[in-house]
Chains A and B, each alone.
Chain A
Amino acid sequence: MIVADDLHFGYGHRPVLRGVGLEARPGRVLGLLGPNGSGKTTALRLLYGSLRPGRGRVTVDGRSLQSLRPREVARRIAVVVQESDADTMLSVREMVTLGRLPRLGTFRRAGAADRRAVDGALARVGAAHLAARRYADLSGGERQRVLVARALAQEAGFLLLDEPTNHLDIRYQHEVLGLVREVATSAVVVLHDLNLAARYCDDLVLLDRGRVAAAGAPEEVLDPDVLKRVYGIGVTRTAVAGRPQLLFHPLVEPLPVVG
């Protein structure tokens, strides 16, 4: 379990997080939501130690994040970050093999067990056929798959993803999140799209200007009144396959009311 308690963080004098607490529980997918600038990516970066909180703390399976060395953190938490150098000449297999770094000592070479882990990860995301291709030559959706495979090769308990659906077309958005649900036992996902969050997350945390505006099950968090307050846009809520789905009202011309 990853527990964040009373996290404060600011860039210079501009506070970004003002007392955020959340729990990522094993076996569940937690969605981090919020408008632009609400601090969701910052909160995620605090969870894996890329940033240090000004106040508050993060514990991973009961151990304080600050007491763990970077490699020890990487053995517990795998991250799919947004940056990925498209110029890299690494092959897909080499990219995924990087996931073994925290498991290998600084100078140890990758062995048979590492190769098995890499093959297994590629197979689980359905990217075994891409292994010999150059990472830079892949489509956005394929790259995202490969990065998930790299995270799986890390064999960490938790998977963190920073807007994994960014720049992907609608089909790949569903494919990538479906994949996360399928392969990750425990995950924290930063998402922009509320309907994707409703569809794929077990728990949600909605951030607003550096504070938690709502937390809990999707039915509770995606409440039209809460969303109106946080995003300043009207919402009509329906349900698809037992999960809430949202229709948004245009800001200029109101939509005829549905249902």
Chain B
Amino acid sequence: MARRWTAGLLVALGASVVAGTALGAVAVPFGSVVQVVGHHLLLVPGEQTWSAPRDAIVWDVRLPRVLLAAVVGAGLAVSGVALQAMVRNLLADPYLLGVSSGASTGAAAAILFGVTLGLGEHVLSASAFVGAVAASALVYVVARSAGRVTSTRLLLAGVAVGYALQAVTSFLIFASDSAEGARSVMFWLLGSLSLAAWGQPLAVAAVVVLLAVALLTLLGRHLDALAVGDETALALGVPPERLRTGLLVLVSLCVAVVVSAAGAVGFVGLVVPHLARRAVGAAHARVVPVAALMGAVLLIWADVVARVLLAPQEVPIGIVTAVVGAPFLLVLVRRLQATAA
């Protein structure tokens, strides 16, 4: 069952990458996509028979963007899975840790006030990353008491730090004179993959997300035990505090990398874990890889919609994921009530 889902999703991912690269304001035939990509990967020898603009659209613009979408979707989905196990709450999402609020504050500081911290060419994503990591460190410090990090404290600390940083971001927008800057902060807050390009940020995001997927899959049974309860985990030789702290570091890093590359794309990390559990059951060793693939496919298509819907204007991808995700959340809540009653 799980194997069939994984195989099917891998095929879907391959098809989505091709389709996501082909579709857009200017449509490119699927065959041509395969040809161009094959040529660049040195798989298809021979002359270049297509125009330079087409080559640029496929290879320089769309493919890195589609790959970034896949990485971001996978990263958010597995972070959601891990967090829901860590705090034992099905409504937990990757932004619970204050990561997105921290990233937003960092990004707003960079956009509006030119706070560059000497971060070089990728100022925006770098400062977002610094903000995200600082926020989750703060959440950790607040949540920690007498050497213990309980799920309730983690939840409360995440919410508190999140609200505080949102206020800081709002204040930065309010205090700045630049309407143009405020607009680009808003755009960034809603998520966008338009910064995608070949290079370091994409590579870093891909490596971190793949590492997170691999580690969380291998730790599947530990996550199972933690999701049942702290006392159960301990009785099975898994110290819950230590595991939760380790996961917190891993997930914070993963979300920080993802958010700094694409802004705060909502709902993927909340909704995809539920889809994955419905498909393959609750055991995390199966849920994690399936959620990663589902998240990747979902975000590729959400980005296609974001690009095509009002072309040549781009819709922030967070709006697309919210439109799809919010109704799903309502269905989920109704179901939860039904089982509780």
Contacts and interface: CB of A to CB of B under 8 A. Distances in A.
Contacts of A78: 235
Interface stretch (A26-34, A100-108, A186-194): A100-108
Nearest to B282: A89
A82 B229 CA distance: 10
A212 to B, nearest CB: 24
Interface in A74-97: 74-75, 78-79, 81-85, 87-91, 94-95, 97
A144 to B, nearest CB: 14
A102 B236 contact: yes
B283 A107 contact: no
Nearest to B215: A107
Given A70-B239, A73-B237, A90 B283 contact: yes
B218 A81 contact: no
B237 A98 contact: no
A84 B90 CA distance: 16
Summarize A's interface: helix, strand, loop or mixed.
Answer: loop
A79 B228 contact: no
Nearest to A45: B231
B234 A70 contact: yes
B283 A101 contact: no
Interface in B244-297: 277, 281-283
Contacts of A87: 90
Contacts, number: 81
Size category of the A interface is: 20 to 34
Given A70-B239, A101-B236, A106-B222, A94 B281 contact: yes
Contacts of B218: 106-107
Contact of B237 (A74, A90, A91): A74
B159 interface: no
B39 interface: no
A155 B221 CA distance: 18
B224 interface: yes
Interface string A96-122: 011101101011000000000000000
B238 A101 contact: yes
A50 B236 contact: no
Given A71-B237, A90-B282, A107-B218, A81 B277 contact: no
B226 to A, nearest CB: 10
Most A C-beta atoms less than 10 A away, residue of B222, B281, B282 = B282
B232 A101 contact: no
B124 interface: no
Contacts of A101: 221-222, 225, 236-238
Contact of A81 (B90, B232, B237, B282): B232
A220 interface: no
Given A83-B229, A104-B221, A106-B222, A74 B235 contact: yes
Given A81-B231, A98-B224, A101-B221, 9 more contacts: A50-B231, A50-B234, A70-B237, A71-B237, A79-B235, A81-B229, A91-B281, A94-B283, A98-B232
Interface of B: 88, 90, 218-219, 221-222, 224-225, 227-232, 234-239, 277, 281-283
11 contacts: A48-B235, A81-B229, A83-B228, A87-B90, A88-B227, A90-B228, A90-B282, A98-B221, A98-B225, A101-B237, A106-B218
Interface of A: 48-50, 69-75, 78-79, 81-85, 87-91, 94-95, 97-99, 101-102, 104, 106-107, 154
